[in-house]
Structure 1
Amino acid sequence: MKRRALVLTSEAAGHPFRRSLPPHAFAAPFPADVEAAENAEARRTWRLTGNDWRGFLSAYCASLVAIAVFIT
């Protein structure tokens, strides 16, 4: 990536948005094993439980009832 001392953009990037990105945005991606471990951890932490669904449904029903009462 070619950079000049007094220029804040990278001339190697063709699009104006890519020129405005910092240099670390063009860094190489993580190795496959690190990426797989991070994906497994994210899958484990973002799993919805029955308690999550129960809370969502109760909030949805309460909002629906409140809106129906407000309309009528």
Structure 2
Amino acid sequence: MRRALVLSSEAARHWFRASLPQRRAAFADLPASRTVDWRLTRDDVRGVATTYFATLAAVFAFIV
């Protein structure tokens, strides 16, 4: 018996994917022109530096 690689019927979808809501309905309440603010603040830099130096100190403590 030969089976087609591509299923042309929408009824043949997976049961879990069929139970999920449609993608368009999930994002319908978002405004179309939304700007994203990706500014780097002083707290972000301070957090990265603190994490970096804490990890560096921990690795150095394990080596020594």
TM-score by length of 1: 0.48
Superposition deviation, residue 51 in structure 1: 2.4
Q: Which runs of 4+ in 1 moved over 6 A?
A: none
Higher relative contact order (CA 8 A, sep 6+): 1
Q: Give yes or no for the alignment of 1:68 onto 2:60.
A: yes
Q: Which whole-Å deviations, capped at 9, do the CAs of 1:9-41 have from their partners, x for residues lacking one? A: xx74613331232xxx2163538x81322xx1x
**Matched-pair identity in %:** 40
Please tell me whether residue 30 in structure 1 is matched to residue 22 in structure 2: no
Q: Which has the larger radius of gyration?
A: 2
The one-letter code of the counterpart of 2:41 is T
Whichever residue aligns with residue 56 of structure 2, its letter is L
* Greater share of helix: 1
Aligned length: 53
1:20-72 deviations in whole A, cap 9, x for unaligned? Answer: 32xxx2163538x81322xx1xx22x533132112211221122112211221
Q: Call closer, same or farther: CA 1:57–1:13 in 2, change over 3 Å.
A: farther
Structure 2: runs of 5 or more not aligned: 1-9
The separation in 2 between residues aligned to 1:47 and 1:61, in whole angstroms, is 23
